[in-house]
Chain A
Amino acid sequence: MITASAAFIIVLELGSVVVGGWFLSSYLLSVYSTRKTRLDRIFGPIERSIYYLGGVNPYEEMGWKAYLRAILALNVVEAAIGFVILLIQGSLPLNPMHAPDMSWSLSLNTALSFSSNTDLQHYNGGTALSYLSQMAVIQFLQFTSAATGLCVAIAIFRGLTGKTKGLGNFYVDYTRTIVRVLVPLSGVAALILIFLGVPQSLSGYSVFKTLELGGSEVVKSGPIASLVSIMQLGTNGGGYFGANAANPLTNPSQITNLFELALMMLIPTSLPFLFGRMLGRMKEGRTLIVASYALYIIDIFIAFIPITQIGEGMEVRFGAASSVFWTVTTTAFTTGSVNASLSAFNPLIILAALFGMIIQATPGGIGVGAMYMLMYIIMTVFIVGLMAGRTPEYLGTKINAGDVKLAIVAFLSHPVIILVPTVITFAIGAQAAVGLGTNSISFTQILYEYTSAAANNGSDFLGSAGNTVYFNVSTGIVMWLGRFIPIAVMLAIAGSMVQRKRYASEALRTDTLTFTAVLVVAIFILAVLTFFPFLAIGPILSYLEGFKNGF
């Protein structure tokens, strides 16, 4: 049940984010076009020096293969840097609390996790990481993975709009994303968070005698605000502490709670508008934003079906409604930061969370959410578009057998990389190592683990209990496959479309609300078709068996 007051806050939040996203999209348009702006005077020299130091030729135009190669090369190198730092953090500087070296499998998992924008954490950040790791691994990869996601979206937008020769230059897009978008925005966001009470220091944890005689507490301060800002803005979700955004130091109040929610929603919300602007047809962007928000709102409604009351696993200052809203949002935008323990929730809320991660476009993570929505549009246009009596077209290009094949591969990869490891886990009994059995609750948790990994979400039930070689390696592989297979496939589609002939008229108008409605139903059916049996023996069964919050 959704109360009027909760509905009001949710509508207010969504409304402000949509308005903010609309304004941001106008700025993003200038970032990713070659036209000159006043900001060039500030950013231009920084970018040019990065190109110079990096050995980048900014005038090189890339096809989809070159773009993809550059993405993969950079991400491999960055993940490798993160892996090495974690592996030897004990003997590196900026380690005032003497965090020990991480095991190889946990280092691998963490490096793959943060470089793929997943931020699945099989460790407790408050104790397992040094300051250097928090900054030079966690925060560094949160920036780069967010930048990668945004670049992918831009390249795909360019391909589909077909106004350029190639997909752009990845290194230029990446540099401009970091210099003009992510660093300034998360800088401002970090300062606002600090103002609202989130700590930011490098002076180590301090121990204080508390009010009651004999009591003491550790205030685990650190570079928290700078991390939280990019973690939300880049839809990363990997928290500074194990408790993530439930920890009062990362999310001290109701206001920071709503602000952090807005941060994670901002860029994914602005991208459909950016797409419309790049096309010069805002209505095409409207289709994306309306469809993704419609799915998101359906998701919210599912999560609010059961009555949730404040209880174990939830923070009192947020209340039940905000906790449920956050849990839906963090999965709908595949961020994965949590402000309450997932075990606190009714199975239907977990079902709603799974929906977000199954669809991945509700509106989904930074860059990739829009990418998945375009994948669904291509599939839907093809399936239903024939019924308009014409070869299906999207944005004036005919959808051919090659596009269908690639879109199917992208769509198919998701269930494969979720179901195969889930089955293997139970087949070899690996769930027992994390204290799980074979009932619907256990099944839900394992299904959730791999769904979250595949969707690059990062929220999970296992937490640091998942720190076993099996789960570290298997989720690590799933995270990278879940990240880069769809990216590669969608870049291929964009690359083949960029130079394809554009036809003037379209039979099936994709910029209409009619099509948007069909799209929403189609996405829902496609997701239901794929995952229904597994949801049935997982959260749905738990719900029907009467579990209120039995996880």
Chain B
Amino acid sequence: MKKSNSLTVPLRIAVISLVVCGLLFPGVVTGIAQLAMPVQANGSLISFHNTTIGSSLIAQDFNYSGFFQPRNDSASGLDPDITVQNATVQAARIHNVTGIPMAYLEGIIKENTKYTLFFFGSTYVNVLDLNLILAQHFPLIYNRYIV
């Protein structure tokens, strides 16, 4: 029985693996993704008034104290969410700055509350979601601060 040549075989197999796993595989997956799921494949970008304002997945910076603000300490530094508790604290500040009624703010927080374990676990809200609602419903207050 012929033995596999122990010198060249590893080299050849390594190069084949490189091509198959390192180039063909991501290439093909990218191709399929761009054709079939372009929105997700390109980072789930969202628009506001027909302008792309970034990815819905990652946190955006908000400096104006009338906006809900993301956490700036978290594992990834891109955490788009805050806890409901945090949002409620911020709502008081927003109410003071903008005069938007507390009841309204608490209302949108409640409507947008998500759970960490599907229907259980701790509750949180997406910062951008809340700010988009605010910007949309209170243009008089926010138009100066947005694109």
Contact = CB atoms under 8 A, between A and B. Distances in A.
Given A194-B37, A208-B53, A321-B116, A201 B42 contact: yes
A226 interface: yes
A321 B120 CA distance: 11
A543 to B, nearest CB: 22
A254 B75 contact: no
A352 interface: no
Interface residues of A, number: 90
Given A5-B120, A210-B60, A254-B118, A144 B9 contact: no
A388 B136 CA distance: 77
Interface in A211-270: 211-213, 215, 217, 219, 221, 223, 225-227, 230, 241, 243, 246-249, 252, 254
A203 B118 CA distance: 34
Interface of B (DSSP majority class): mixed
Contacts of A252: 44, 57
A357 interface: no
Interface in B11-28: 11-18, 20-23, 25-28
Interface stretch (A36-44, A69-77, A370-378): A69-77
Contacts, number: 280
Contacts of B14: 74, 77-78, 81, 144
Given A54-B9, A211-B53, A139 B58 contact: no
B40 interface: yes
Contact of B21 (A59, A144, A213): A144
A199 B52 contact: no
A183 B67 CA distance: 45
B53 to A, nearest CB: 5
B135 to A, nearest CB: 7
Interface in B47-76: 48, 51-55, 57-64, 67, 71, 73-76
B114 to A, nearest CB: 7
Contact of A178 (B20, B83, B122, B145): B20
B4 A57 contact: yes
Given A211-B53, A249-B43, A140 B75 contact: no
Q: List the 7 closest A-B pairs by CB distance, nearest first.
A: A319-B116, A5-B120, A140-B22, A143-B21, A246-B75, A243-B76, A316-B81
